[in-house]
Structure 1
Amino acid sequence: MVQSLKCSSFHTRTVTLPNCNEDDQQDCTRVYHLVLPRILCHSGFRRLGEAPEENEYFEGTHKRVGTLPLVFALHAFEEDARSMEVFIPYADASNFVLVLPEGKEFSFNAGDCCGAAKHDDINDVEYLTHLKQELTQEFSFLHPSLTYGIGWNNGAFMLTYAMQQVPSMFKAIVPIAGYTHRLQEMVNADAGMMLHYSLDDTQTRPSGCCDNPNLPECNGEVMSDWCVSILQFFDLWATEVDQCSISDASGGFDN
């Protein structure tokens, strides 16, 4: 029996990872937040920005809505999932289920970064993979093949890193102000991407976050053996992952 959940609202839940090998067993139970779109509640649609009516609950039954997209929204380093709740109105407007995972101590382990999650070698890829499995099994209107991701900063690193480790994790992703530097593994990915980045980003350098004392440091102790610019990353994804034929992007970086 599906728990009664209020639509358009922020529901805090936990998931326990099976066969968990974390050093601290408390890291085997993770917190995430779930938002169900208005279409799943009995009183029908509402306009973008309108507050939900009282007693608008999803109780396990719904009108024929077909298969709804599942969208992961991953927060930045030193932020929490509340920073991504700006997407709640869009979940209603576009009819997708929004899931907002919490990283360990405001961080995700995305290989090259960040914070406590990287320091403690937390398996956040397994966390996202299991959470996707749990949700698509719990709700009949979700399907694993229609899973998408948007991530900011550390969350963007996490999206692209997860795609390397589990190429079928997402159908498409939107990394904002962050990307994995491990280009050698990127050819295994299989997803569409909309990449959003500022060339004057002072937090995560567009010229790359690498072990180079002659360049400014990135935030979150982001370090990589490969110094890869955002334009190189874009080119590789276009040519190797999406099999596009494009001219190389080019440009200089001051930071």
Structure 2
Amino acid sequence: MTELECNKLIKRDITISECKEANPDDCNRSYFLHIPTSICNEQNNSIAGDNLPPTLPLVFAIHCFGCSAMTMYTSFAQHANEHNFVLVAPEGIKHSWNARHCCGYALDNQLDDVGFLSNIQSALSNEFAFVKPQFTYATGWSNGGFLVMHASELFRGIAPISGFIAGIESELKRGDIHGGKPLFIHQGMDDPYVRSTGCCHDLNLPKCCCNIAADTCTDVMDVARDWAVEVNGCKNDETLLAETSYANKDDGIRCLTSSNCISNTTICTYDHSGHFNQQSFDKAFPMANEVMNFFARDACEVNDGWWNGIDKTCSCNTERSGPLCLDKVVAEDRFKNVCYFYQSGICGDCQLHNIGSSCICNGKKTEKTWKDWKRRQIRQSRIY
């Protein structure tokens, strides 16, 4: 395994395989990598060694037009570390991405930026056994938001910010291999650059920024509703009903989530946030933690884990292990999780009493098991 330091910015270069760009220089790309401390050796802060780390989700954070990878790294690295994510911040050529409607050099030259992201995903999963493509998420701002929607087939769930695309690729519609695709979309209603109405061809309106070339006038709320119904199979007539705890009316933030769905669809609108660029993205966008929490909850629930968004922990049943319950427990270790669960959350110091029944907690036997405890809990609402 490659030796890498954890909780540290690591710049890496990659040459795109089977690259077809007109300019050969555009086949040489770069990205920044951040490994969380949870899988590191405390003595040398490295993942090198013989112990196989647990599976961790991979999260792409994709910058805006005119920005750099550091914009997203600064905003999301700490939150990725706290939620046990491997973070990737890719660098766009000439600060741009080809995302169908936007923007700059990459769009003008039709660069294969979806292929670039796919190459990173494949390279990291081949290099590190704890990275698996099926547990990949992505968030992006502005041009990056357009790209995460354009490249959504690569990801288990996405969170576009101030950048959205109307229309849904046919392969995503009800029948995606993951059973839906979580969407957490953010849009300033007063955004002067990416309009919440989606209109860029209306001659009665000023020209859109950055040559954004959307050919429809589909409102961001309609985009979220379409995604809820066509991708995530929501059954209600009104598909965006419940207001979430993320809402903050004093700050003009309204968040709505769909219900009766295969996967979650949540939209947050902001009355006074513009394009999240005043003063800077990391200061203007208030929900970087919530984006990571959204992804972590989804990953945790893949194998019926129980996500605690306050403590940022995922509690596993006896069949699963790892920070987000993404690994199978080997037969001889399958009941260790029971005692570990009590030790970390309920009983204090525990010892295994007998396989599959109970723990000795502080010298006193308890018949509680993880499943018994879970049955008595009011499962956290799926309203994120």
Same fold (TM over 0.5): yes
Alignment-derived partner of residue 155 in structure 2? 170
Unaligned runs of 5+ in 1: 45-54
Within 2, Cα distance between the matches of 1:97 and 1:248? Answer: 32
| Identical columns (%) | 36
Pair 137,197 (structure 1): closer, same or farther in 2 beyond 3 Å: same
State the 1:209 CA deviation.
3.9
Alignment-derived partner of residue 56 in structure 2? 68
| SS of alignment partner, residue 197 of structure 1 | strand
State the 1:65 CA deviation.
4.1
Unaligned runs of 5+ in 2: 241-270, 275-384
Pair 60,227 (structure 1): closer, same or farther in 2 beyond 3 Å: farther
State the 1:198 CA deviation.
1.5
Alignment-derived partner of residue 223 in structure 1? 213
Structure with greater contact order relative to length (CA < 8 Å, sep ≥ 6)? 1
State the 1:40 CA deviation.
2.1
Alignment-derived partner of residue 9 in structure 1? 8
Amino acid at match of 1:8: N
Alignment-derived partner of residue 198 in structure 1? 188
Within 1, Cα distance between the matches of 2:170 and 2:113? Answer: 18
- Return the match for 1:90 from 79, 96, 100: 79
Within 1, Cα distance between the matches of 2:220 and 2:37? Answer: 37
Pair 68,184 (structure 1): closer, same or farther in 2 beyond 3 Å: closer
State the 1:60 CA deviation.
4.9
Alignment-derived partner of residue 185 in structure 1? 169
TM-score by length of 2: 0.58
Within 2, Cα distance between the matches of 1:241 and 1:138? Answer: 32
Runs (4+) of structure 1 exceeding 3 A deviation are none
Alignment-derived partner of residue 105 in structure 2? 116
| SS of alignment partner, residue 226 of structure 1 | coil
**TM-align CA RMSD:** 2.2
Cα deviation 1:167-194 (Å, max 9, x = unaligned) = 2x1111111111113x153662641111
Are 2:149 and 1:160 aligned? Answer: yes
Amino acid at match of 1:97: V
Alignment-derived partner of residue 247 in structure 1? 238
Pair 248,43 (structure 1): closer, same or farther in 2 beyond 3 Å: closer
TM-score by length of 1: 0.86
Amino acid at match of 1:72: F
